[in-house]
Amino acid sequence: MALPKEGTSEWLDEVKFYVNSKEPDRIKRAKKHNIKLSSYERLMRKRGIKLNGEEHNVVVETQVDPIVNLPPIELQYYNHPEEKEGDEEEALLHISDGHAGKITVSFDGDVYNYRMEYLFESVMKIITLHRKAYPVRKLHILMTGDNIQGENPFQGSKIGAVSMGARDQTIKLAYPAMVRLIGSLAQEFEEIEVECVKGNHGASKLAPETSSEDLRLYDLLKVYFGSHKRIKINIHEGFSAIVNINGFRCFVFHGDGIQCQQGVPFFALDKKLKSWYMQYGGFQYAFGGHFHKRHSDEISSRLEYFMCSTLVSDDDWALKQLGISSNPSQGLYGVHPRYGVTWRYAVQVDKKFLPDGGN
C-alpha cells in the first residue's frame, strides 16, 4: 500500500500524525501501509518530513483528483529467500462474489474493505508457512465475477439493500480495494497473473454482453497495473475461459447459467461441467462462484471443481436459494507442476467467523 499522494488532504493527515507520533504508533501505521517501520520513516524523510515537530511546507489542493485516478503504487520487489528442498509450487487465489455496495445486517462498505484487507493478511500467513518447505514465487488470481452488487432490483438491489449506484460501487469500493490487494500481493511474489471473467451482477439483461461492471473493474485494473511487468491482467469477455495454471488446464467461470433444483445446484453443476469438458477438449480443474457457498467435488478421476464462497454474510439470497447463511471466505490453493492441486484452504476473511472469534 502506497503513502497518500502529496498535496491531498490524506497526505496532510499523514504528516500531522507523523510529526507528533511515538514509535509504537508509527509501527502500527507502517503495518497499515504494509511496509516496515524503517521503510515508512525513510519514505517520509524522502518527502522532507522529519520527527522534530517543525512546521513543514505542506500544501493541500483545493480540488482532489477523482478516485478513478488513484496515485501510482510504490512496489517493493520481492526477494526470494534461500532455496528449499521441496519442489516449487505456484499459488492460486480464487476471488469471487465480493458484492461491494451490498448491505445486510452484518455487511456494508466498511466491512467489505476490512474483509479485503484481512484476506491479504490471511493469504500471506498461509503462504509463509508453505515457503518454509519449498519455493512459492508465482501467484495466479482467478476472479470469477460479481465483484459489485449492481443496481438491478430483481437481484436484491433495492433501496436500503445497496449503499450507492453500480458505477460508484465499482469506482469507490471495489476498484481501490482491488488495487490495494493486488499491489500488496505484488510485493510478496515475483510474478502475479490475474484471470478475469464476469458475473451476472452489475449488468442488465437487455444491455450488450460487454456492459458489465465486472469488466469495467477489470479494465481499470489493467490500465492501473499496465506499466508493472510483474503483474499481468488477462480479461476474458466471454462467460468462461480456459487458462494454464502451472501446466494444468483450468476452466474458469461464474456459474449463473446453472439452475438450482429444490435449492440444490450441484446435480446441474456436475452435468454442465461434463458437457463443458467435452466441448472444450478437457480440463483438469474448474473454478466458479455464484452460489455463495464453498464446495468442491471430483466428477471423475480427471476432473475436480471448486466453488468459491463470498465476502457477504447474512445474505438473504443464499438463505432463500440454498437455506444457508454463507461463511465469508475465498479460496487459496497450491499447484504442483506434476501433481496438480495439492493443498487447499477456505481463507476466512473476518476474525469473528473463526472458531475462537479471532482471539
pLDDT tens column, 62-89: 344 555 677 777 777 777 776 667 899 9
Lowest-pLDDT choice from 17-26, 144-153, 170-179, 276-285? 17-26
> 125-135 in b/e burial notation, b at 16+ Cβ within 10 A?
ebbeebbeeeb
Its pTM stands at 0.78
Mean pLDDT of 230-259: 94
CATH no. of 89-353? 3.60.21.10
Q: What is the pLDDT of residues 41-50, one digit of tens each?
A: 888 887 878 7
Question: Cα separations (Å) of 274 from 73, 126, 135, 288, 298?
Answer: 43, 32, 34, 14, 11
The residues, ordered by sequence, that sit 6+ positions from 294 with a Cβ below 8 Å of its Cβ are 306, 307, 308, 309, 327, 329, 331, 346
Nearest-angstrom CA–CA distance, 300 and 60: 61
Give the separation between CA 39 and CA 270, rounded to whole angstroms: 50
Greatest mean pLDDT range, 41-50, 200-209, 226-235, 261-270: 226-235
pLDDT for res 206: 60
Q: What residue ranges do the domains of the chain occupy?
A: 1-64, 89-353
285-288/303-307 β-pairing: parallel
Q: What is the pLDDT of residues 266-279, one digit of tens each?
A: 788 999 999 999 99
Phi and psi of 195, rounded to 5°?
A: -110, 130
58 pLDDT more than 60? no
Q: What's the CA gap between 192 and 75, in Å, rounded?
A: 13
The band of 56, judged by pLDDT with boundaries at 50, 70 and 90, is: very low
Please tell me the predicted confidence (pLDDT) of residue 156. 82
Could you tell me which residues come within 8 angstroms of residue 279 by beta carbon, excluding any fewer than 6 positions away?
none
pLDDT average, residue stretch 79-106: 89
